[in-house]
Chain A
Amino acid sequence: MNFELNDEQREWQMKARAFARDEIRPISLARDAVADPRETFDWEIIKKGSRLGFRTMAVPKEWGGYGTDFVTQAVVMAELAKADSAISKSFSQNWKWSHLISAVCTDEQKERFLKPFVADDTFLLGKGISEPSAGSDNRLPPADDHKAGLKLRAERRGDEWILNGEKCFIANAPIGKLFFIDARSNPNVPLREGTTMFLVPRDTPGFRIGKVFNKSGWRFYQNGEMIFENARVPHANVVGQANGSDMKTHQAGDRTGGDIFGDLELAANALGVCDDACEQALQHARGIKQGGRYLFEQQLIQLKLNKMAMLTEALRSFVLRVAWEHDRKIKSPNAGLAMNFSTDVIQEVTELYMDVRGAAGCRMDPHADKLTRDAMIWSHLAGDSVQRMKVARRLGH
């Protein structure tokens, strides 16, 4: 066994650490405090990060990207998230769909979409799955209800598909240039058999962005509604085959045994937040005095710091193991388990951090407050009972 990072991985880690420290951390709290959800985003940080490779690092080298491995990606996500979880996610969201493009798109599609993505510092990607009446049903379609799941309708008309319906809670929707959209191409069969995935550029006729959601955490990370009114998508934009949208299968090219990348992504991002909380809590405990003595001298403070570090280091081990397994194309439920575990860890660690900080007078430290709000995002993305049951069903396979 070897826990050392190689030179290339280490180099990316150092580059991410410096960028996080010098560029992300200084704007993090100010961005979080912006009241209007449309105004929390900052293109400058995206452009700066993109020029350093943080937008395109998961794109294979032959398509102009950096072709980094999963261990590097995990390490970089954690470094960026240590300065701001939502900004880290704004970069890694692109890696998620870069992986998908690499795995399942044709060379012709890569030519049309991957090349412009690589060339443009402001080209962001997204994927639309959730709908107002289809959240958990998409993640875990019920065996006894074929109608359950997304309703966005796609009908073939000659060389085009006509899309009608809406998506909600879609990451990057308000700012993205290209989206993967799951739509029902056959409503009479179960979700997995009747859904097609489309590449939908921002300027597709009949497609527009609706409301921008106002989240309590991850405020930088944009999230919006998508509306399709006779949106016309060329047949050439079908990803894989019609009625075959499930790309997270072995047949479709996934070798991670998980969610291609998404499970690892949330776990690695949580790790960065936990690192931040641990470091700040320790600094606070060693720097603040009560009754003439440092907080650190108190047993309860030591026990809290111990628990924070213990959980964080356990998460780090799990995250890096999953990344390592992904790089070796080992099929296992570990990515999903790590994602579920990261929910418990990020919430406990940020709550302990808030506890170590305490309410000074009748005010809460804005940083501790931000981290607990960011951590709540994991409840529905990574750690709800559906996400846990979904992973349980991967056990033993």
Chain B
Amino acid sequence: MYNLHLSAEQLEIRDTVRDFAARQIKPFALKPARIEALDRSLPADLLHKASQLGLRTLALSEDHGGAGADNLTGCIVAEELAAGDPDVASVLAETSRLAHLLFDRAMTGEQRERFLPQLADDGCHLAFADREADHDGALGINYHRPDTGEAEVKTKAARTGKGDWVLSGHKLCVANAPLAQLFAVTARLEPHGSDSDAVGTLLVPRDTPGLSVVPHDGPDRWFHGTCGEVSFKGCQVAGQNLLGRGTHDLLRDDAGRGAPLSAAVNLGIGRAAYEAALDYAQLRIQGGRRIVEHQAIGAKLAEVAIRLEVARNAIWQAAWASDHPDAVADRSLPDLPLATLARAFTAEAVHRAVKDAAECFGAMGVMRDMPLQKYVRDALMCLHADGGVSDGKLKLAEAIVGYRRTGAASLRAAE
């Protein structure tokens, strides 16, 4: 059965979030003085309101206090939020994604009991501290070849006599780090018997002595949301904070849930530019008529609409696939990395779309106190995030012929 009907709940949450973005996020995010100063500081009050709407814990199961939304709903919400502000959207999407993965899938009942009360707080955000210095996530030179370099985890967790862990190391580019109250940290566990790749994931509360965060900021920042460096200097972590075997793979690979979310944020950027251009093209008079009535502008906006709509279809399909893992087995969907595909298509489609939208504004398209230049910049960020679209295509190229990566890239879980 092919069915594109959204449920009543999905339609309702889309309307609610669209309204929230239009009335509250956009007026804040696009204040001329703010965008002119390239100010990307996050609005704490709006994140708080979003949390009260349930968006921070959207994907967390209802049993654990969340909305239990599937990934398709998550993508619909992420697009709507990002049409208001992609940074707000990214922060909420990351916490929601991790809330589901950690609390619904990775934690033991005992761990959940200890950490769930904290998660109920509207200001509680989550972060996955994985990436290290010298780590190169790009496939690049290793395309279709076994990995040569060791994707080493240098952050160490040494076991004490009491069974606790002492964590030391340094993580880079950790999404949500500046806000996070709880970190899931990838570390090499010592002692580890004979297994030299014993890697595990530890839950580390923000207030752990020895944990410090330096936000990545400045004009060269190239990400959405918030991001930072996290250092662990002899952090004492309780023995029972070690997550189970396979958590690392779960958080990294994410069963295809993360990529559609970031593509949805990307799509929201394109939609904001499209809506701005559509409004302006119906107001601006040149050549004796509204510019939308000129073929050149009309056809340009039509192309923007095509790109965004096709991208949305790709994202929704990938999101739906992550919600229905059996859809490949029953031959409903092709056995392709649909999330990677959606992300690569969306990044290129939105980049083209925002440039076309900006052109409709003439010189105003490049003025800093106008939003168009920001949309172009935001779309470029998506184009070059996580190794960039070229790298996504290489991953896809391996996957379509069934190449399976071996070696250090697929780290084995500890215990």
B-binding residues in A (CB < 8 A): 33, 35, 37, 130, 133-137, 140, 142, 144-145, 148, 168-169, 213-217, 290-293, 295, 297-298, 300, 347, 351, 354-355, 358-359, 361-366, 369, 372-373, 376-377, 379-380, 384-386, 389
Contact = CB atoms under 8 A, between A and B. Distances in A.
A135 B286 contact: yes
Contacts of A380: 359, 361-363, 365-366
Interface stretch (B9-17, B56-64, B140-148, B152-160): B140-148
Of the candidates A293, A351, A376, A386, the one having the most CB atoms from chain B within 10 angstroms of its own CB is A376
Nearest to A213: B367
A223 to B, nearest CB: 8
What does DSSP make chain A's interface, helix, strand, loop or mixed?
Answer: mixed
Contact of B141 (A136, A293, A369): A293
B390 interface: yes
Interface string B122-158: 0000000000000010101111000111000000000
Given A376-B366, A385-B296, A385-B300, A354 B286 contact: no
6 contacts: A216-B373, A290-B141, A358-B387, A376-B366, A380-B363, A385-B359
Contacts of B4: none
A372 B114 CA distance: 49
B72 interface: no
Contact of A136 (B362, B385, B390): B362
A189 to B, nearest CB: 16
Nearest to B32: A214
B37 A35 contact: yes
B280 interface: no
Contacts of A347: 355
A354 to B, nearest CB: 6
A366 B220 contact: yes
B327 to A, nearest CB: 32
Interface of B: 36-37, 136, 138, 140-143, 147-149, 172-173, 216, 219-223, 227, 285-288, 291, 294, 296-297, 300, 355, 358-359, 361-363, 365-369, 373, 376-377, 380-381, 383-385, 387-388, 390, 394
B172 A361 contact: yes
Given A215-B368, A355-B388, A372 B140 contact: no
A7 B376 CA distance: 44
Contacts of A135: 286, 362-363
A187 B294 CA distance: 25
Contacts of B147: 291
Nearest to B358: A379
Contacts of B287: 136-137, 140, 142, 145, 148
B148 A214 contact: no
Which are the 6 A-B pairs with shortest beta-carbon distances?
Answer: A145-B288, A385-B296, A216-B373, A364-B222, A142-B288, A214-B368
A43 B311 CA distance: 48
A293 B361 CA distance: 44
B368 A358 contact: no
Contacts of A373: 366, 373, 377
Contacts, number: 136
A384 B363 CA distance: 10
A178 to B, nearest CB: 22
B388 A358 contact: yes
Contacts of B385: 359
A379 B367 CA distance: 13
A197 B383 CA distance: 45
A293 to B, nearest CB: 5
Nearest to A289: B141
B362 A362 contact: no
Contacts of B138: 290, 358
A362 B223 contact: yes
A290 B140 contact: yes
A382 B26 CA distance: 31
Nearest to B385: A359
Contacts of A140: 287
B363 A169 contact: yes
Contacts of B294: 385
Given A135-B286, A213-B363, A380-B363, 14 more contacts: A144-B288, A148-B288, A216-B366, A290-B136, A290-B141, A291-B149, A297-B141, A359-B381, A362-B216, A362-B221, A363-B220, A372-B380, A379-B365, A385-B294
Contacts of A300: 390, 394
A33 B387 contact: no
Contact of A291 (B142, B227, B291, B383): B142
Contact of A214 (B173, B216, B367, B380): B367
Given A130-B363, A136-B286, A291-B136, A364 B368 contact: no
A275 B36 CA distance: 30
A291 B365 contact: no
Contact of A363 (B140, B222, B300): B222
Given A355-B384, A355-B388, A376 B367 contact: no
Contacts of B141: 290-291, 293, 295, 297-298
Interface centre among A135, A140, A297, A389 (most CB of B within 10 A): A135
> Which of B286, B296, B381 lies at the interface centre, i.e. has the most chain A CB atoms within 10 A of its CB?
B286
Contacts of B365: 376, 379-380
Contacts of A217: 366
Contacts of B394: 300
Of B142, B227, B368, B385, most A-chain CB atoms within 10 Å: B368
A228 B56 CA distance: 53
Contact of A379 (B221, B296, B355): B355
B149 to A, nearest CB: 5
Nearest to A360: B222
Contacts of A37: 368
A290 B387 CA distance: 12
A217 B366 CA distance: 7
A362 B176 CA distance: 13
Contacts of B286: 134-137, 142, 148
